[in-house]
Structure 1
Amino acid sequence: MNLVAYINPKAAYYQSCKSAIEDIIEVTRQEPGCLRFELYENAAQSQLTLIERFAEQSAFDFHHRQPYTQAVYRLYEKALEKPAELHFMSGISI
């Protein structure tokens, strides 16, 4: 399960959103089945990108049920310019 999420906070909430995600990175990485959880920002500091990889759907679902993840979602309700853009991706074998 691979996810790339583009997050566009309102300017006044950019740092709050960034900090909220930073605060859950380490605990998320310790979750069973979490293989990757990384946060990036663009040069203009107007968009955050989360790259997530979980071993299976159940691990992904577990992460999204956690209170700390739900707290980030509550912040998103007031802080985002538009809903997060979620791209679920599949690996390609070469």
Structure 2
Amino acid sequence: MKTTLFIFATLHPKKESFDKAKEILKLIIDDTRKESGCIEFNLYEDLESNKLYLYEQWSDELSLNNHFTYHYTLKALEDIKNHLEKQTDVIKMEKIK
């Protein structure tokens, strides 16, 4: 049975790197949205703190795993790592009802 996955990722950019981190993520949005299995992929900025949020919805685990094999995703992960003050918090969920 296919299970839709919902991802909430909280990114913690360094204060001086906030705009750079945001730009790196913005570069992958359009390509990611075209991926097979991507239902939703949105970037949000917290207006009161120095955080960015990704909300993602994937048709299944395979589609999500494939996302991390594409060159633009790998490049973004490499480019952003020096702009983050700590590891990204990721919550992976399935809808119950």
Classify the TM-score, shorter chain.
over 0.9
- SS of 1:84's partner is strand
Pair 1:80 & 2:84 matched:
yes
CA distance in 2, matches of 1:61, 1:50: 16
Aligned equivalent of 1:59? 63
Aligned equivalent of 1:7? 11
Q: CA deviation at 1:86?
A: 0.3
Contiguous gaps of at least 5 residues in structure 1: none
Counterpart code for 2:95: G
Report the TM-score when normalising by structure 2.
0.90
CA distance in 1, matches of 2:22, 2:49: 10
Report the TM-score when normalising by structure 1.
0.92
CA distance in 1, matches of 2:82, 2:25: 15
Pair 1:16 & 2:17 matched:
no
Between Structure 1 and Structure 2, the one with more strand by share is: 2
Identity %: 28
Aligned equivalent of 1:44? 48
Contiguous gaps of at least 5 residues in structure 2: none
4+ long deviations beyond 2 Å? none
